[in-house]
Each structure stands twice: as C-alpha cells, then as structure tokens.
Structure 1
Amino acid sequence: MNILNKPFETPFDTAPFAALDTSLYEEAFSQSIANTKAEIDAIVANTEAPTFENTIEALAFSGMQLERISSIFFNLHAAETNDDIQRIAQVVAPQLSALGNDITLNPGLFSRVKEVYEKRATLQLTEEQLTLLTKNYKDFVRNGANLPTDKKDALRDIDARLSVATLQYSEHILADTNAYKLHLTEAHDVAGVPEGALEEAAALAKAADLEGWIFTLDYPSYIPFITYASNRERRRELAIAAGKKGFQANENNNEDLVLEITKLRLQRANLLGYASHADFVLEERMAQSPEKVLSFLQDLLAKAKPAADAEMGELTTFANQLDGIAQLEKWDSAYYAEKLKQQKFQLDDELLKPYFKLENVLAGAFDIAGRLFDLSFHEVHNIDKYQEDVRTFEVKDAAGKFIAILYTDFFPRKGKRNGAWMTSFKSQYVLAGKEERPHISIVCNFTKPTATKPSLLTFNEVTTLFHEFGHALHGMLANTRYPTLSGTSVFWDFVELPSQIMENWCYEPEALALFARHYESEELIPMAYIQKIKESASFMEGMATVRQLSFGLLDMGWHGKDLSCIMSVRDFELKQFAGTQFFPDVVENAMSTSFSHIFAGGYAAGYYSYKWAEVLDADAFAYFQEQGIFNTEVAHKFRDYILSKGGTVHPMTLYKQFRGQEPSVDALLRRAGLLQ
C-alpha cells in the first residue's frame, strides 16, 4: 500500500519525508479522495435519524487522510517545489475542488445537516458543538446547497477553473523570481551594500561560474541592495525587475489570470446571491460588510495621511540636500529612509545585525513563549525533514506533556516562494477519546550563513520571525475537539492578532535582554541601541500605514461589485491607488500581477485584516504593558481565551473575555505616533 494511504509509523506520527517520492502523490490523492467519498456516502446512507454525532461529528472527521496528504503536498508545493510537483498540483487541484463541490452540493448530506440544524435548540450542545453545527450549515448554504441543478453545475465549473488559475498565478511569480539575476562586476555598482549581502552575492556568482556578484529578487538579496546600494541606476534596475513579476511579455504573465480570477469570484458570489465576492467573504468576518471595511480603511487613511505627507516632505528635502535628488522614485524610498534614520537616530540595521544571530533570536522567541505560556522547545533529530536546512523541535508544557512538533525553515532556495508564512502538517483534534497534537511549521527567507558569518537578521527580519512564531503559537496551543475549529481556523480578520502581538516583545528591553547578544563577543545589545529601537519604532509610520491601506483598498477594488468595465489591470489598480501614492508611476510595473496574498493566498477581500488586527494587537499589548510584559496572569488569559480556543467562539467574545472590553483604535494610533 502507498505509504501516504496508511498510518505513519514515525515518531509523533510525523510526515515520513525520507520515504516520500513525488511519484506517490497522484495515487495517494486518488485513493484518499475515493475513501473520503465513501465516508460521505456512509453518512448519507445511514438509515438512522440524523443526529449531531452520526452527521455533524461524522462529517467533521471525514477526509482526515486526504487532509493530511494535502497538507504535506501543498506545503512542499510552496516550500520545496519542482516541475513534477507543479504538474501534479495542476492535476490534483481541480479534483479536490470537485470533491469539495460533491460534498457541499450533496442534497442527501445537506438534508441531514439541515435537519440537525433546525432542531439545534433542543440538542443540549456544548458551545463548540453548536459552533461546529452552525458553521457546517452555513458552509453548505454559502457554497450552493440551495441552488438548482443547473446553477450547481455552473458553480462546479467556476470552482474547478479557480483552483487551476490560482495555482498558475503562484507558479508564474516563482518562475519570474527564479529567472531574474542582476550580475554586477564593477565595485561602484555595489558601493554601500553591506558586507554580508556582498558575500552572499559573491557566492551566488561563484556558484554560476561568474566573476563579481549576483543579486536576485529573493528578499535577503533584494532588500539589502535596494536599501543600501548608492548606485541609483542599479537600484532602479532591480526595483523595476521586482515590479515586473507576472507583468512581462512572457509565458509567466499574470494579467489575464488576474482578470479571470476576479471575474470568476464575482460570478461565484452572484450565483450564490451576493452582490460581490467581498460581500460573500465578509459575511463570515468580524468586519461583516464591504462598507464597514472601506469605512475602516478610509478612517485610518484620513488619520495617517497628514503624517505621511509630512514624512514624504521631510524625505524629499533630505534627499535633495544630500544628493540633489529633486524627484524621489520608488527605488529611492528605502535608501533615503535608511539614511535619514541613521542621521536622526544614529541607528541602522548593519549596526544591529551582529546582535541578531538567527539561532539566538529563535532561542529568544522560545524563551519568551516559555515565560508567557509555560512552553519549552527541544530540538530533536529523529524526525524526517523535507530539506536539509529544516530544523525540528518537540514542544512541551511545564508538566512535560507533549504539546506539538515545530518545523523551522528559514533560508531561500530555488523551489521556495518568497515571503514568510506559518502552516500546518497536522491539526490538533480529539477523536475517540485520543487527543492528536499539531505539527506546525514556520517558513521564512532569511540570509543564509556564509563562510565567515552566521545568519544575521535585520531588525525587520526579527519582527518577521516573531510574527510567524505568533501564528505558530496559535497552532501549537490549540485545545479544541474538532479539526475544522482548531488553531488558526478562525475569522480571517482575527487570525493576525496572535502573530502581530508577538512583534511587540521585540521592542521591549526586558525581552531583548534575553537574546540580543553580539554573535562574536556575546556582549548584550547596548541599552542605547534598545532605546533607539524604541524611539525609531514609529519612524516613517505614516507612509508605511498609507502603503498598507493602499493594498487593502486595491484588494477591495478587485473584489467589489462591478468588474465588467475592467480592460487593463494597470489602469484599474492606478485608480484604486489614487490618493495613496507618493512616487511617480512606473509603466513597466504592476502590483496586482504579483499580489499573491489576494490572488493565490487566503486574503481575497481580507487584506484589510492586517490593519484590523493591528487595532486588536495594540490594544491587547497595552494590557500587557499595564500589568507587565511577562505578567503570567495576563499571558495565561491570552493563552486560554485567544490561543487555545481556535474558532470555537466568536472572536469578539473571546477578545472581551481576555481584555474585559472591546478594542480601542486609540492604542494603535498612539503606538504609530498618529494620535496627537
């Protein structure tokens, strides 16, 4: 039998990566899809009257084998892909879409779910059971269970096309990213670039049998160059290349896919009775409606824009005085902002990086989680890894009880997409009285160690690691019964709270003292540096806020009501960006063609949630600050009400149980320096 279709005989039931050959997946998917269909058929064929146990609970635990295989395969598709995996994904994605339709459009199954739902008031269900029942019923209705046959067929066709289109979109971006190389041989072209980034660039060139340096669009290569290279023309060259991903006259162009994806999403929403994809999505979010989201974004924009305009004026004046630059371009922003920050705070990332060795930062995150949530992390070497750079940890609580497995994957490579994310190889749940604990993974793209230096992080990368670790804590501390309500299975505009709140510890002297030590001397980061980190925390925050809001407005534009008149991706996005842009347009570039969050991720009509969750995290961390950032009573309340409950309770209810009140936007505005 295919190893993927039988129980894993591995430590902690972890994925047996060493035994997994790409050729196994198609057969494994085929068998597990058939098994899932059989499980659904058994629920429908049950001659007993529908009950919570024989229908809702049985449905919640159906397809577990398929879910496990899917998590392994699609995580590799993101972090360790190749041509075979991408080919299989194109085959499997529509099959999984069809299965999802087979379930939600099954009239016999829906009839049983509906019957249980209609008598819910008499069933004496727990809060979690009632949430599961309500969610299941809504999922059926929101995915076409009440549609007539012809419209169900149309829905199936839309979902199949969407599943393929979103995969193609993502693969095109990865292909364009991998295809680009900036090869430089003259010293004046790399002047200002930090030593560590130069060393990595030289290693890339040497590996390609070339002299000089190679810079790529991978973030650990791109960011240092665009931030520090004094050669403006070379910055321009690299920035334009980054902005052209998915927007070039080649086989990876995503313009048609952007239009196809958004129009299919609108058609799907209309078919289900919604005015737009945003209306459909936001019905099951804290924000509830497009009008409320747009009001939220516009309100924040009104508060941030004056500060942003003042910052842009200051940056322009500074660049003019320093280098005679009269008109700032987008490839100048990071460079002159870093120069200005150095002047104002006598602080720059190159000064800080020696104090942020990757291993120390990770150990610091572990230490902080131990102090807050009574967790300990132990590296283990008897668990299979899908790539040699991956590390594996056993997570335990204060009593020594097994809590989770954590994978960390920190360095870029050809088969790995850019960015940072948390994911899961196995959910937490309780079945037949046995608790299954989760297997969680953090994936980032940091600079690899070189021949002379370990991996040293910029401060922004430090906060990125803590951000993803916050998501990981949400997954690892899950304590629910049903897998579909476990961990990060929460409203999308709530899911960023656990991640974003963890970033706050990176600015606190008491926390930095735990891990910020010089990689050579072991000297603790000087208090003067810590003070400067805090002082500079809101530096250029107005412009950063407006930039983030512009992405949210673009997202809402693409998923709004009327897309029929859109002929040009660029023209449409320029209209959405009106009033939020600080730099001249670059005709060779487009944002939408590489906006993976909304076109290949889960953030369609949900990108606003980063700012929405910032309101929550600023308010929540203010509570920690009032009581002490390592106050165990507050931390345990956060663990018990926010991190462990998953999607079992409405998030605003959970938040008020933790905080004792609804969140206030004032904490965010005060932290960002936007509240006068």
Structure 2
Amino acid sequence: MQDSSVATATTDSLDNPLLQGWTTPFETPPFQEIAPEHFLPAFEQAFADHAAEIAAITNDPSAPDFANTITALERSGRLLNRVAAVFYDLVSADSNPALLEIDTEVSQRMARHWNPIMMNAALFGRIALLYGLRAKLALSGEEKRLLERTYTRFHRSGAGLDDKAKARMAEINERLAELGTAFSHHLLGDEQDWTLQLGDNDVDGLSDSFVAAAKAAATERGLPGKAVVTLSRSSVEPFLKSSARRDLREKVFKAFTARGNNGNANDNNAVISEILRLREETAKLLGFQTFAEYRLEDSMAKTPQAVRGLLERVWKPARARALADRDALQELIAEEGGNFKLAAWDWRYYAEKLRQRRANFDDAAIKPYLSLDNMILAAFDTATKLFGVTFSERKDVPVWHPDVRVWEVKDANGAHKGLFYGDYYARPSKRSGAWMTSLRDQQKLDGAVAPLIINVCNFAKGSNGEPSLLSPDDARTLFHEFGHGLHGMLSDVFYPSLSGTAVFTDFVELPSQLYEHWQEQPQVLRQFATHYQTGEPLPDDLLKRFLAARKFNQGFATVEFVSSALIDLEFHTQPAAAIGDIAAFERRELEKIGMPEEISLRHRPTQFGHIFSGDHYASGYYSYMWSEVMDADAFGAFEEAGDIFDPQVAKRLHDDIYAAGGSRDPEAAYVAFRGRPPEPDALLRRRGLLDAPEAA
C-alpha cells in the first residue's frame, strides 16, 4: 500500500497537483504537472494540516500513551513531508529563478512552522512523561528506540527552555534557515556565472572524452559548437589533472576555490560569520559551551575531543606522505626544465605524471572502460548478488528532467521494493556535488509504504550521442551514492522517523563508503569495465596497474579532507567573536596544523555547503572519516570469508546495517554485524598510510 494522504479538498486544491491524489505509477509525483506557483499554496495547506494534527495530539484529554502521542506524531505531517520532498528535490537538482525565490520564503516559513511544535511545552510534557516511564512500558525494541529519539529531538530543540529562551531560539532558527538558503543560492550563483571557453589552442593534454564533455556543457549553456570548463567538480578535477596549459589551470583553480568569496552579491563571508554567532548562541541557550559540544553529544563520537583525536591520528601520517610526494613532484618539474615552484593548481597535473611513472597508470587510460551505463549495471549487479534485489527500468514514471532515469526495485521473491531515480549529469540548474535523497521513505505504520529513492550526481555528459565516461573517482562516487540509496531502499522498519538514512551522521556514511569497495574489485571490473567502442573487457595488465595505483596520492587526498574537517571543528569550538575575518581565520588555522601550501582545502569556507547550507554536517564533516574506520574494517568480513559476496556475511550486512535504519543503536548494529567493534588501523591500512614517512 502506498501513502496517498491528501489535504482536505479546497477550490485551490482542485487545480494543484501537489494537493491531489496521484494516479501515476506507484503514486509518484506527477512532475510534468507541477509548476513553481503550486508550491506556496501547497505549503500553506500542509502547514495548516500539520498544525491541526499537532494541536489534536497536544490537547488530547486522554492520559499520554505511546499510541496517542508517539505514534500520532509519526502519522502527522504527511502532506508537508510530501510537498517538501518534491520541492527540495527540484531546488537542488533542477532549479530556476522562480523556485529559488520561493525557496527563500519557504525556508523561513518552515522554521516558523516547526519552532512552536518543537518547543511546545505541553506536547513535550507528554513525551517526557512516557520517556520517564519507558522501562515500565511494554515496548518493542523499535518502539523504545523511537521514544528515545523523539524525546532527544524535542529536548535538543529547546522544548524544555523557559519562554524567553524559546522566543530567542525561534528567532535564531528562522534566521539560520534564511542564512543557510542564502549560502547555497550564492554558491549556485557563482557556479552558474563562470565558465572558461576553450579555443583550439587551449586543449593541449585534454582527452577526447573531456573535450566532448566540454562541448556538451557549452551546448547546455546555449553555446553550440563551443567548449567550456565549468565550476562543477566533475569538470574542474579532470581539467586540473590533464591540461598542459599552466596558465589555464591557475585560472580554473582560482575560480573554483574563490566560489562565494568574490566580494560580489554572492559573497558568503558575512553569512558564515552570522551563522557561527547564532549557532554558538543556540548551544549556550541549551547549556553547552560550544556548538560542537552540542552537535556531537548526539553522535557516535560524543565529544569534540574524540573527533580531534581521530583527525590528528590520521593527519600526521597523511601530512608526512603529502610532503614526501610534494618533493617528488617538485623534482619532476625540475626534470622537465620548469623553473617554478609547485603550486596548488599544479599538484594534480604532476601527480598524474608521477603516477604514470611509478604505477604506469593514468585515469585517461581506464576511462574508456568506465562508461556510466556499465557502472550503473555494476552497482545494480553487486546489489543483486549481495541482497537479491533486482532492477528493471521504467519509462512510465514521471521525472523532473529528461535525463533522469527510473528503475523499479524488486526483492528476491519478485515483490515490489521501491523505485530508484538516477539523475547523473551536470547542468546549470543543479547544485554541485553528489547526494542521495528520497521522495518517500519506507515505513509500515499504515501498511507497506515503498520508498522512492534518488541519487543525484554531476558527471560530464558525452556529446553527440557519445556515452558519459567516468574517472575512477566518478565511478567510486556512483557506488558511494548508490550505497546511500540502498540504505533507503532496503530499509525495513515500522516507523517513518527511523527509516533508511535516519541515523547518526557519523554512521550514515558507513553503508555508502562500504559499498565503494565493490567498485574496485577485480571480479566486478572484469565483468563491467568494457571498452565503450569495442566492447573489449578491461585488459588484465591495465586492471593490475589500476589496482596498484589505488593508494597513490593518498597523502594529498587525506590532507585535503582532514584539513577541511579540522577547520569545521575549529569553526564550531572557538568563540565566534574570536574568529573574525573568515579568510584570516582559515590562514591561521592552516598554519597551525602545518598545511602544505601546495594543497588547498577540499572545501574552502565560503563554498563549504556541507556545514553552511544547513547544519546537518556542521561539526560533523569528520563523519566520513569516522565511518571509514568502520567501512574499511567491515569489508574485511567479506575478505576473511574468502568471498566478496559471501551469503552469510551479506545477510548480516543486510539485516544489521542496511535494513535496520535508525531502529538500533549504531554501535550495537555494527557489533552485531562484525562480531566486535571496528579496528582503528583499518582506515590507515586502506589508505596506505601505516608506513608513511616521518613528518618534517
């Protein structure tokens, strides 16, 4: 049974597809019928419906019990969830000026709607009463977990504060919503406004597939017959790796790292400063000294000290390896007769040359074997072998852009499991990066509700009908996001709030990063890495060289990431008043940790959407590395079994990790799967950093 909740019919709702029942296949959103002007009336109705539902729960004269309070809360807000899911998918993946304007208003209205709910003293009183009695209530494990998470969510939102503090929290929440939206709009604006047009003399070193993608990007921007580099990472990274034009590499690198920091209408410096001040004030209202302490209390890590301990443990060998690689790159420049000092825009270019020398491998050699379509099939086949799920493409499901594809997912018995949407190509209307989200989450509260799961990427599109060819990093990204997707698709819980990826941030990356391991397995590559023109399989010699080169440049990659995670932590542990100028703070902190000047942060502050477009990863960017400790250790279970598709290990992985959603404590879930806590050195071993040279 699908979720077909619909608002009370009004005259307006009869003409608004967001307020009607959907007669599309699997009751999916009818995107072709939805226009920007439909959203504000739909949100108005959804807010009103939800407020009425909350009032009914709060004012229920019956004594609080699990059904009339916790379960009732789970049933509330369905129309709001439905409208918001469609809206935020479009804002992120296929925006336009009308949607972005609405987004600014909706972000404030959303905060204004949720504040009185999450700070409702009477409602919190009912929840707190049940929480206090939880040991005496006859609750299932999932029910107990839901009660605990509900109580924690309201408590951390300020429900227990006095009226004055609640009023200030409400003001802060509205302003933070406005600032987070402004940050993401500024970033998109800078990315849309800049391109580098390539002339015939500007393509030295660039592969045919890159030039084809650059031509497709130009056509997308109304420049047929031209070729452009954009500020999408999938355009910038390969250009910096392969362009022989040092002047153009510098130009592209500086534009990419200056996003949000150009002193124009899209500048994010003032936005960041205000966000940090307000987050600190929020933490203090709730009894914490810093936002990081507040944020990390409800995580696996628990404290800023634990996060810093992990990051510093990894930083030392990573920096030492990066410094050794830097010296080798400088020697390579000298060998070629260059009389310049290695700069940040040179690193990727000369690292590729060094990799060719040391491992006889470069990305351009393997890209013809990594077509997007084949990597999608590889991700699907891996899921089939591990979990028994199958995928069949559907052409009858409405989508928001012609490039979006949809597959029906079925379980091992052939029963419908959900839908998977893949939106893979970069375009001006899409924000940068890659992510997983959902249009509907799995749950069983009112019958079996099947999920609608989305993966969005920004791969370069081939031109003139040529396939999109992926770099190894792109292929890994595809598997990563599909791992998140499986977390949503395989979810098997009763309550919506515990569905799929509704877990701690430093646990949510485990299913995604673990899934990356299969992408680089010889067994998978031999089957799916075939030449896009000839169909020939990946030659064994090239496969061996690819596998040997995997750990190359890991010092650089780790430094790039860990420095960003440390900056995030410092932003949220130091007093906001002491941070001052954002660029000066960045320089100060990088000098403090000994950041090699030839390496830039993976995310400079003014473009760090993970932590400033919202607060989901604020003080939490470390989560990728925290999860990597687990994922590196977890894949060892398959290696120890001698089969990367071992049925018994795969069943535990399904039951304890992918299907469990947020219904279990994450540490308990991991131990149930692995039989023990993760081994910390697994991360350093995977990155090849256990034998790093001593730091200078």
- The answer to whether TM tops 0.5 is yes
Q: 1:660 aligns with which of 675, 693, 696?
A: 675
Matched residue SS, 1:403: strand
| Structure 1 range deviating more: 228-237 or 3-12 | 3-12
Equivalent residue number for residue 142 of structure 2 = 128
CA offsets, 1:259-291, max 9 Å, x none?
011111111111111111111111110000011
Matched residue SS, 1:444: strand
Q: 1:630 aligns with which of 641, 645, 658?
A: 645
Q: 1:458 aligns with which of 459, 467, 471?
A: 471
Post-superposition offset of 1:563: 1.5
Equivalent residue number for residue 531 of structure 1 = 544
- In 1, are the aligned partners of 2:279 and 2:291 still within 8 Å (CA)? yes
Whether 1:540 aligns to 2:550 is: no
Structure 1 unpaired stretches of 5+: none
Whether 1:641 aligns to 2:690 is: no
Structure 2 unpaired stretches of 5+: 1-12, 692-696
Could you tell me how far apart the structure 1 residues matched to 2:344 and 2:418 are?
A: 43
Post-superposition offset of 1:161: 0.2
Q: 1:319 aligns with which of 310, 320, 333?
A: 333
Which residues in structure 2 correspond to 1:65-464 (within 5 Å)? Answer: 65-187=79-201, 189-205=202-218, 208-209=222-223, 213-432=227-446, 434-451=447-464, 453-464=466-477
- In 2, are the aligned partners of 1:425 and 1:438 still within 8 Å (CA)? yes
Normalising by structure 2, report the TM-score: 0.94
| Structure 1 range deviating more: 177-186 or 137-146 | 177-186
Q: 2:517 aligns with which of 504, 511, 536?
A: 504
Could you tell me how far apart the structure 1 residues matched to 2:654 and 2:529 are?
A: 25
- In 2, are the aligned partners of 1:550 and 1:580 still within 8 Å (CA)? no
- In 1, are the aligned partners of 2:107 and 2:177 still within 8 Å (CA)? yes
Could you tell me how far apart the structure 2 residues matched to 1:98 and 1:212 are?
A: 47
Could you tell me how far apart the structure 1 residues matched to 2:362 and 2:626 are?
A: 29
Equivalent residue number for residue 589 of structure 2 = 576
Summarize the Cα distance change of 1:616–1:7 in structure 2 as closer, same or farther, 3 Å threshold. Answer: same
Matched residue SS, 1:496: helix
Post-superposition offset of 1:618: 0.4
One-letter amino acid matched to 2:673: F
- In 2, are the aligned partners of 1:266 and 1:561 still within 8 Å (CA)? no
- In 2, are the aligned partners of 1:328 and 1:583 still within 8 Å (CA)? no
| Structure 1 range deviating more: 170-179 or 323-332 | 323-332
Give identity over the alignment, percent. 38
Could you tell me how far apart the structure 2 residues matched to 1:371 and 1:92 are?
A: 43
Equivalent residue number for residue 569 of structure 2 = 556
- In 2, are the aligned partners of 1:194 and 1:224 still within 8 Å (CA)? no
- In 1, are the aligned partners of 2:391 and 2:410 still within 8 Å (CA)? yes
Summarize the Cα distance change of 1:373–1:203 in structure 2 as closer, same or farther, 3 Å threshold. Answer: closer
Equivalent residue number for residue 611 of structure 1 = 625
Post-superposition offset of 1:102: 1.2
Normalising by structure 1, report the TM-score: 0.97
Summarize the Cα distance change of 1:66–1:526 in structure 2 as closer, same or farther, 3 Å threshold. Answer: same
- In 2, are the aligned partners of 1:546 and 1:580 still within 8 Å (CA)? no
Post-superposition offset of 1:586: 8.9
Post-superposition offset of 1:7: 2.8
- In 1, are the aligned partners of 2:347 and 2:599 still within 8 Å (CA)? no
| Structure 1 range deviating more: 558-567 or 258-267 | 558-567
Equivalent residue number for residue 58 of structure 1 = 72
Summarize the Cα distance change of 1:527–1:319 in structure 2 as closer, same or farther, 3 Å threshold. Answer: same
Could you tell me how far apart the structure 1 residues matched to 2:22 and 2:346 are?
A: 52
Post-superposition offset of 1:573: 1.2
Could you tell me how far apart the structure 2 residues matched to 1:32 and 1:208 are?
A: 38
- In 1, are the aligned partners of 2:112 and 2:174 still within 8 Å (CA)? yes
Post-superposition offset of 1:140: 1.4
Could you tell me how far apart the structure 2 residues matched to 1:208 and 1:124 are?
A: 63
One-letter amino acid matched to 2:584: D
Could you tell me how far apart the structure 2 residues matched to 1:326 and 1:169 are?
A: 36
Equivalent residue number for residue 635 of structure 2 = 621
Could you tell me how far apart the structure 1 residues matched to 2:20 and 2:228 are?
A: 45
Post-superposition offset of 1:584: 5.3
Post-superposition offset of 1:220: 3.1
Could you tell me how far apart the structure 2 residues matched to 1:584 and 1:355 are?
A: 32
Could you tell me how far apart the structure 2 residues matched to 1:637 and 1:525 are?
A: 32
Q: 2:62 aligns with which of 48, 71, 79?
A: 48
Could you tell me how far apart the structure 1 residues matched to 2:538 and 2:522 are?
A: 10
- State the number of aligned residues: 673
Could you tell me how far apart the structure 2 residues matched to 1:222 and 1:135 are?
A: 41
Equivalent residue number for residue 10 of structure 2 = none
Summarize the Cα distance change of 1:486–1:212 in structure 2 as closer, same or farther, 3 Å threshold. Answer: closer
One-letter amino acid matched to 2:646: N
- In 1, are the aligned partners of 2:556 and 2:599 still within 8 Å (CA)? no
- In 1, are the aligned partners of 2:212 and 2:462 still within 8 Å (CA)? no
One-letter amino acid matched to 1:456: L
Post-superposition offset of 1:204: 4.7
| Structure 1 range deviating more: 237-246 or 208-217 | 208-217
One-letter amino acid matched to 1:632: P
Matched residue SS, 1:225: helix
- In 2, are the aligned partners of 1:405 and 1:440 still within 8 Å (CA)? yes
Matched residue SS, 1:445: strand
RMSD: 1.7
Could you tell me how far apart the structure 2 residues matched to 1:221 and 1:611 are?
A: 25
